[in-house]
Amino acid sequence: MNILDEEVFSVIMAIIVISSILSAVTIIREGFYRDSFSAIGLLNKDCLLGDYPDKALVNGTIELCIFIYNHEGKPILYKVLYKVGFNNTIPSNTTPSIEPTIREFYSILNHNSNTTFKVNIQVNPPRSIKDGETLALIFELWRLNPGNKQWEYTGRWVHLYIKAYKVPLE
């Protein structure tokens, strides 16, 4: 009877050890990707924070840099939509801006990687404006859902307010 008790005890211990390992792996794996997110940042023409332009010519161009970061736990195809709007048409964390898209930029990123790229954008307001009117240069981050092959708004965006002028300032 001693031999049977030792065998049963060994089997029970093996089940406990295997269950503990599987539980730990599940907890670690879920914890690693539980806080998944995507990020977008706006940088100046030198790809640094600060010293952003505060005015521009209507139909003129501005050089900026866009930063994108993937912490989703898998490779993601991103799309950045550039729009020009106003204070009342900037996006929210659930709804993109209603303004028309002027330009699109694409990047594919592996998990825990980022990219920074320069963009030359035109300041094309969606309607006629007065000299010195404030515009919002809007950059929205979208990702491709591989399951349904549809673009999804991430709820992430950045914008820069500028004053737009029709004639150059002296």
Query: pLDDT tens for residues 125-142?
Result: 989 999 999 999 999 999
26 plus 45 within the same structural domain: no
Question: Residue 102 is encoded by which pair of tokens?
Answer: 């002027």
What's the number of domains the chain is made of?
A: 2
pLDDT band at residue 35 under the 50/70/90 scheme: confident
28 shares its domain with 43: no
If asked whether residues 41 and 124 sit together in one domain, one would say yes
What is the distance between the alpha carbons of residues 78 and 154, in angstroms, rounded to a whole number? 10
Please list, in sequence order, all residues whose beta carbon lies within 8 angstroms of the beta carbon of residue 103, skipping any fewer than 6 positions away: 81, 82, 119, 121, 122
Partner residues linked to 1 by β-bridges? none
Residues 45 and 110 in one domain: yes
Domain that holds residue 18: 1-34
The reply to whether 170 falls in a domain is no
**Lowest mean pLDDT segment, chosen from 18-22, 103-107, 164-168:** 18-22
